[in-house]
Amino acid sequence: MTQPASPLSKHVAIIGGGPAGLMAAEVLSQAGVRVDLYDGMPSVGRKFLLAGVGGMNITHSEAYPAFLSRYAERAPHIAPLLREFGAEALCEWIHGLGIDTFVGSSGRVFPTDMKAAPLLRAWLKRLRDSGVVIHTRHRWLGWNDDGSLRIARPEGEIAINPDAVLLALGGGSWSRLGSDGRWMPLLEQRGVSLAPMQPSNCGFEVQAWSELMVSKFAGAPLKNIAIGVNDDSPRLGECVITATGIEGSLIYALSAPIREAINRTGSATVHIDLLPGRLVDKIHAALSKPRGSRSMAKHLHSQLGLDGVKAALLRELTPAESFADPLSLAKAIKALPLTLVKARPLDEAISSAGGVLFEAMDEHLMLKPLPGVFCAGEMLDWEAPTGGYLLTACFASGRVAGLGMVQWLRRQG
């Protein structure tokens, strides 16, 4: 799809000032469309900025087939978006803003200064220079009976009548930054098919930790471990014990299958490999060595280097009799079962699953029941792990929606 050459004397409203909404605003303004962008918060890009605290991971450098697989069952719907604006195109676009990038050791891509604010500042300047008008503290309330948009602002409610609308209102997590899901009933009333919001990239709760686990190890990192869900191969990484369960990057990466297992059966059992670099027979041999008068804790430490939170977790989740059987204990160390019973609340999650079904939109992300109304970003029903995949798809969907709006406006004459 190419940019139209001649300007369009049309007016659009974009609701939501995150990456998807801002990207659509750029596409539309470049086509000569007059763009008013409305955001309920005092400034735009708030979740984008907070996501950049500690390092702005903008995208990922892995090969396209692996990259696309991160979107799981929604990969077929995300693929057309990435073909239009994938990781390489996103990096080139960032460079066009005067921001250099580098690839970290994990394959993640970052701005060289690791910060989101300079990127956002340069972007907003370019948008304003191209004529985009940004209205903050303006919340969309739905539609009036005549089809106009209801916009609440500090001075009172107004009605606007744009030629087309893009909704880029975010998902259901981090409501304090504007992503609160309050738009869902407004679309449902208009016949738009939605999937319920669920937490994604989130922590999970256990039935109950012992008092020792809570008092001594809540907040302790579990490093150099692997976790498997269902029959999938264990994934390497790290996570953190919490007062209610477990969270962190490794758990976030597995949150979708864990959540769906809980939805199906009421719980999900993951298996933790405390020593992913060692084979079970080697662990068995080490545990079978005489320990004399040494305690089991000292034996585990001297033979396997197991201590601290790992040793505590082994005690917490392994029957006492297994400690008298080196083979049973070795097997437990390699596949320690941890039962999770529910996800942490949606508002704590990094992102959300659910929202507008792709089946409710055409290939340009226009809502089938509402001609001229487009959707983009995290309010669509997809999810992905952290690592740049979330942001990339948000940017890409904003671009595809913006180009789709240009096409639709041209057809309207």
Q: Which domains does the chain have, with CATH numbers?
A: 11-200+352-412 (3.50.50.60), 204-343 (no CATH)
Q: Rg for the chain (alpha carbons), in Å?
A: 25
Structural contact between residues 155 and 8, judged by C-beta atoms closer than 8 angstroms: no
| pLDDT tens, per residue, the chain with 413 residues | 444 446 778 999 999 999 999 999 999 999 999 999 999 999 999 988 887 677 889 999 999 999 999 999 999 999 999 999 999 999 999 999 999 999 998 899 999 998 999 999 999 999 999 999 999 999 999 999 999 999 999 999 999 999 999 999 999 887 888 888 999 999 999 999 999 999 999 999 999 999 999 999 999 999 999 999 987 789 999 999 999 999 999 999 999 999 999 999 999 999 999 999 899 999 999 999 988 888 889 999 999 999 999 999 999 999 999 998 999 999 999 999 999 999 999 999 999 999 999 999 999 999 999 999 999 999 999 999 988 999 999 999 999 999 999 999 999 87
In this structure, which amino acid lies at residue 347?
Answer: D
Token pair belonging to 143: 């539609």
Query: What separation, in Å, do the N-terminal and C-terminal C-alpha atoms of the chain show?
Result: 19
In this structure, the number of other CB atoms found within 10 A of the CB of residue 182 comes to: 16
Quote the pLDDT of residue 201: 95
Residue 157 CA to its chain's centroid (Å): 33
In this structure, which amino acid lies at residue 87?
Answer: A
Tokens 């471990």 belong to residue: 225
Q: Whats the size of the chain, residue-wise?
A: 413
Quote the pLDDT of residue 6: 61
Q: The pTM is what? A: 0.90
Quote the pLDDT of residue 1: 44
Q: Give the CA count within 13 Å in the CB-facing half-sphere of 174.
A: 24
Quote the pLDDT of residue 176: 81
SS3 60: strand
Q: What are the backbone dihedrals phi and psi of residue 13, each rounded to the nearest 5 degrees, phi first?
A: -115, 130
Residue 18 CA to its chain's centroid (Å): 14
Contacts of 159 (CB under 8 A, 6+ apart): 144, 146, 148, 149, 150, 151
From residue 35, give the alpha-carbon distance in Å to each of 25, 162, 167, 404. 6, 9, 13, 15
Structural contact between residues 329 and 343, judged by C-beta atoms closer than 8 angstroms: no
Structural contact between residues 37 and 17, judged by C-beta atoms closer than 8 angstroms: yes
SS3 267: coil
Quote the pLDDT of residue 2: 46
In this structure, the number of other CB atoms found within 10 A of the CB of residue 178 comes to: 22
